[in-house]
Structure 1
């Protein structure tokens, strides 16, 4: 499953995990992606992968079941 928000395009980022002895190893940070039912502007209901930041900001309208 791809970890990309369909609204804002947020995707995983890379960086280093640094230990106490300053050794570095690669690691990933993933956005919190949720698969929710979204009501589109034309009235259609569709499942989308959306990050929680977009849900909290009100960029999508959840569909009631």
Structure 2
């Protein structure tokens, strides 16, 4: 199961935790994914994984119409 947004394509970011002694350990930043049910054109419902930031953007665009 990939940790990737189905709409925007956002995925996992990697980087380093850097301590005060300048020790570096790997860390992963995971996207804030939400499972959303959407209605397709033929009337069926499907579940997709969407990043929360992408969901906010789409809701703002739909609300302005």
Distance 2:54 2:44 in 1: 19
Structure 1 residue ranges without an equivalent (≥5): none
Q: TM-score, normalised by structure 2?
A: 0.78
Q: TM-score, normalised by structure 1?
A: 0.78
Give the superposition deviation at 1:44. Answer: 3.9
Which has a greater percent of helix? 2
Specify the alignment match of 2:57 in structure 1: 57
Structure 2 residue ranges without an equivalent (≥5): none
List 4+ stretches of structure 1 deviating above 4 A.
none
Q: Describe the SS at the equivalent of 2:14.
A: strand
